[in-house]
Amino acid sequence: MGFLKEFKEFAMRGSVVDLAVGVVIGGAFGKIVTSLVDDIIMPPIGYLTGGVDFSQIKYVLKAADEVGKKPEVSINLGNFINVVIQFLIVAFCIFLVIKALNSMKRKEEKAPEVAPAPPREEVLLTEIRDLLKNK
């Protein structure tokens, strides 16, 4: 029973729940970025490059064999280009989020600092010094 209780405490800790939420949101964000790259960014680039569909760019190592029912063996360069662009967009978005969080932390840290009160001994010594000075 101790093992299950320990696991429950671990699973319900805030950091684990936050991580799970981050993974789910990250997966959804990945789909948005994939759609952004495939449906919005790459068509204009393909148009500017003369109608090239990057997702179809590939280097065929071995053509498909219809008789032997063997699939084509190819290196899909266009798909790789799309994935690299998706990665750059995700990395840029994460950079912007982290930069915003860091700037908010800096603003919090710049709050005016209150000077710490001197120790009690120092206060007493200062009073004694002032009394002796006045005599």
Kindly report the three-state secondary structure assignment for every residue of 58-102: CEEEECCECCCCECCEEECHHHHHHHHHHHHHHHHHHHHHHHHHH
Closest Cα to residue 78, out of 29, 48, 45? 45
Measure Cα distances from 33 to 12, 84, 107, 124 in Å.
Answer: 31, 11, 31, 66
pLDDT tens profile 2-19:
888 888 777 777 677 778
Q: What pTM value is reported for the model?
A: 0.53
Output 26 or 111, whichever has higher pLDDT: 26
In this prediction, residue 49 carries a pLDDT of: 79
pLDDT tens profile 92-112:
877 887 888 788 876 666 666
How far apart, in whole angstroms, are the C-alpha atoms of residue 34 and residue 41? Answer: 10
